[in-house]
Amino acid sequence: MATTPLDLSAGEPARGSAMDDRIGQAGEVCAAGTPGCPAANRGGILHHGAGDPTPLYAHLRACHPVFHDPLLDVWVVSRHQDVVRAFRDTPRDFTNQRTFEPLCPLAPQAQAVLAATAMAPAASSLDPPEHTRLRQTVNAAFPTTGRRVNGVDSLLQARATAHATALAGRPSRGGDLVADYARPLCLATLGHLTGVPDTHHPAIAAQAAAMTVLVADRLTPARQAEAAHAFSDLWAFCQTLVHDTPRLAPGSLLPTLLAHRPTNGAALTPDEAASVLMEMLITTAEVMPKLITNTLHRHLGPREHPERPQPSGLRALHRTELIDRAIADTLRHATPLIGWLRATTRPLHLADTPVPAHAKLMLLLGSACQDAPPTAPTPVFGAGIHYCPGARYALRLTRHALAALTRACPDLTLTEPVTHGPGSTTPWPLNALTRGPAQLSATW
């Protein structure tokens, strides 16, 4: 099936000045006396990752740990303990059934496109027992444990080395670390495991980006419809690939997904397998490259906060434990996944705030990661039964991506301003769920 890359860069979503920037910018003043605070500016939480969100997150945790945004009809949760509770306490008090429900109302044309798509629910939007059945099958097919990640370690290392070597050999001795390295590496590696041809990767990257902004940003009706069509095209591609599974190697991911028989429940249907594949592709195209580039940005960019490591060049990452430390620092202070959506199943209290039943929650992972106790894991990969099955795989590939780049381009230097505040020339797209540079130019 042919797919066409989507360009969502043309035309900006409708934004108000009060909702674009971090606290301290123009906007209504909250009860604590802070101008521009999302608690006092309807819809402002859509772009909580703008600029450096650290002061905003600290303000929300201290003054508005849970608040309701009436424009989006979403309850915003910013403290670590409350975010972890929402992940772990399921399905008694919380549900994932609204995880991919758009934050902003969709125009009729976009609604019609999505209704016609009729996608099977994603595993991360299900609750037990349906979630348990899909999760058991994913665990059987994908490298989710340390032992199974070790089994594909040589593949991950070889792919990272090949991409870093190709990058280093460019005659221009420069490029974009997002488009020329991180995203192609992530998609090529998963493509090898799933049988997704390299020729489809550019279209998948654009379609995955469309899904993110459709759920997590405010778009014009025309851009909503464009993004909905892109989402529909990606779903159709995943269905086609699943139905072509007989031509794939028996041990590859899709045949294993379809052949596995979980202990409780039936095997996956082709549409359920397509849904699992689609979720993997979106995560691989949207989140994993940002973990690589956010780590590079944080390690090589200017020091902005006392807790940030002093820039020291890639040569400093000469041992595995140093690379792992840099990744862990990024997950805590510059995580690529800054928001997640859940919902309540009954009336309850979060941070002493009454929240009604069936309320949509926005869990501010970016804030919760910074708020996590030093000895506690950050909740960026979720918790409990909804802990991300691809976490170990993502961390291992990121480690190899950084190690390979260190070997191939030890003198790599970022070549454009790496600040990400208003007026920066480095584009950091604003949406409520992900945060990372659209481009990260460098020379070596």
DSSP string covering 284-336 = HHHTHHHHHHHHHHHHHS---STTSPPP--GGG--SHHHHHHHHHHHHHHS-S
Q: Which residues of the chain have pLDDT under 50?
A: 1-25, 421-425
What are 397's strand-pairing partners? none
Per-residue pLDDT, 6: 40
Q: Residue 74 carries which DSSP code? A: E
Give the whole-angstrom CA distance, residue 90 versus residue 13. Answer: 34
Q: Is the sign of the CA dihedral 243, 244, 246, 249 positive or negative? A: negative
Per-residue pLDDT, 307: 61
| The 66-69 sheet, strands edge to edge | 66-69, 74-77, 360-363, 340-344, 94-95
| Total number of residues shown for the chain | 444
Per-residue pLDDT, 249: 73
What are 77's strand-pairing partners? 66, 363
Give the whole-angstrom CA distance, residue 40 versus residue 23. Answer: 11
Least Cα distance to 144 among 382, 428, 335, 415 occurs for 382
For 236-274, b/e burial (b = at least 16 CB within 10 A) is ebbbebbeebeebeeeebbbbbbebebeeeeebebbbbb
Give the whole-angstrom CA distance, residue 299 versus residue 414. Answer: 11
Give the whole-angstrom CA distance, residue 297 versus residue 280. Answer: 25
Per-residue pLDDT, 385: 86
Least Cα distance to 321 among 402, 405, 411 occurs for 402
Give the whole-angstrom CA distance, residue 165 versus residue 167. Answer: 5
Per-residue pLDDT, 306: 58
Give the whole-angstrom CA distance, residue 293 versus residue 286. Answer: 12
Per-residue pLDDT, 386: 86
Which residue type does 39 have?
Answer: A
Per-residue pLDDT, 276: 95
Give the whole-angstrom CA distance, residue 89 versus residue 182. Answer: 35
Q: What are phi and psi of 94, to 5 degrees?
A: -135, 155
Pairing of strands 74-77, 360-363: parallel
CA 356, distance to chain mean position in Å, is 28
Per-residue pLDDT, 429: 77
| pTM score, whole prediction | 0.90
Tokens of residue 392, six digits: 């170990």
Q: pLDDT tens, 234-274?
A: 999 999 999 988 877 777 888 988 989 888 788 999 999 99
3-class DSSP assignment, residue 175: strand
Other Cβ atoms closer than 10 A to 73? 11
3-class DSSP assignment, residue 267: coil
Do 291 and 274 meet the contact criterion of CB atoms below 8 Å apart? no
Q: What are phi and psi of 69, to 5 degrees?
A: -100, 110
Other Cβ atoms closer than 10 A to 378? 21
